[in-house]
Amino acid sequence: MSILVVGSVALDSVETPFGVRERVLGGSATYFATSASFFTDVNLVGVVGEDFPQEHTDFLTSRNIDLTGLSKVPGETFHWKGRYGYDLNEAQTLETHLNVFASFKPVIPEQYADAEYLILANIDPELQMEVLNQVKKPKVVACDTMNFWISSKPEALKKVISRVDFFIINEGEARQLSGEANLVRAARKILDMGVKNLIVKRGEYGVLMFNGATVFAAPAFPLEEVFDPTGAGDTFAGGFMGYLANTGNLTDEGVRQAVVFGSVMASFNVEAFSLDRLKTLSYPEIEARYRSFKRMTHFEGVSEL
């Protein structure tokens, strides 16, 4: 089953302790779509300016990502500039130029209105709601957000998340939205807002998933080289939704496997700047790392003492 993603396509300028890259391919929808494309077909809705390089369009097309919904309009492409210190868990935003994204009104092409798998990447929650209203009867909806929307449009955000199946945010955002320092209590409060499944990303510490009945904990893959964490969360979501859409297995077991595939994809993405690692990645490498995850976390049940 194909996935519909609505989010940003951007040019990023990134500085980490390991180097600098200027105006490289970025954006939440870009990372998500590329990651998900290893598992299923992806349809992307977004906007770029006239400066968006053809090579990036060619790359996305080469990954079988349908760009019918990507409009090119007069002006410049969304541009984000950020920096990471040795603590690679948190980016410092230096500049945000929304450019053509400032007036983005997502219009879902008629042929996507029947989408069964939908990801609302990090955009204004009011726009996320407009997208939700344009998709007739989605089977699985996931959604991301950021600290800016939690503080500026909490009510609009709460309306959106009460209608989605998987709300995927980071640890700091979970604490901010709930007003609880303890993550278990934070999760309970967010589930009480009507969220069916909450996935909390903890950077190098992995992921926790809560659904009110069970908790699933997956570590992050310990990496020797983390060059650029940009897009790790979107790449996680892409692997997660891509695997779900491919298998259609929405049982607790299937969703847990999807979380691990998401973690696998994120672990590759941070190994190089921009989408460079995803550009050279092959499916056998993904499966091999999934098996490493399995070995890394395995332990036997209780034996009799």
Query: Which chain residues interact with its own copies by CB under 8 A?
Result: 39, 86, 181-185, 188, 202, 204-206, 208, 214-219, 222-226, 246-247, 253, 256-257, 259-260, 283, 287, 290-291, 294-303, 305
User: Which DSSP category does 205 fall into?
Assistant: G
Query: Which of 51, 234, 252, 276 is labelled catalytic?
Result: 234
Is 87 one of the annotated active-site residues of the chain? Answer: no
Rg (CA), the chain: 18
- Give 86 or 110: the residue with its C-beta nearer to its own copies: 86
C-alpha distances in angstroms, 219 versus 245, 255, 259, 302? 23, 15, 10, 21
Q: Residue 79 or 202: which CB sits closer to its own copies?
A: 202
Q: Which residues contact 176 (CB under 8 A, 6 or more apart)?
A: 147, 150, 151
Please, what is the minimum distance in Å from the beta carbon of residue 74 to its own copies? 42
What phi and psi values does residue 295 have, to the nearest 5 degrees? -65, -40
Q: Which is nearer to its own copies, 25 or 281 (CB)?
A: 281
How far from the centroid of its chain's Cα atoms is residue 274's Cα?
A: 14
Q: How far is the CB of 225 from its own copies (least distance, A)?
A: 8
Nearer to its own copies, 58 or 304 (CB): 304
Return the amino acid letter for 35: S
Q: How far are the Cα atoms of 3, 59, 139, 257 from residue 248, in angstroms, in the given order?
A: 12, 27, 10, 12
- Where is 268: in which H helix or E strand? helix 252-269
For residue 263, the SS3 value is helix
Residues 66, 230, 7: CA angle, nearest 5 degrees: 35
Nearer to its own copies, 163 or 188 (CB): 188
For the CB of residue 191, give the shortest distance to its own copies in the complex, in Å.
13
Q: In what order do the strands lie in the sheet with 10-16?
A: 19-26, 10-16, 79-84, 91-97
The one-letter amino acid at 123:
I
Minimum CB separation from its own copies for residue 206, in Å?
Answer: 7
Cα separation, 71 vs 68, in Å, equals: 8
Q: To the nearest whole angstrom, how small is the minimum distance from the Cβ of residue 169 to its own copies?
A: 16
For the bound state, the minimum distance from the C-beta of residue 156 to its own copies, rounded and expressed in Å, comes to 29
Q: Which residue has the tokens 């997660």?
A: 240
The tokens of 256 are what? 């847990």
**Cβ-based nearer residue to its own copies, 167 or 243:** 243
Active centre residues (catalytic): 234
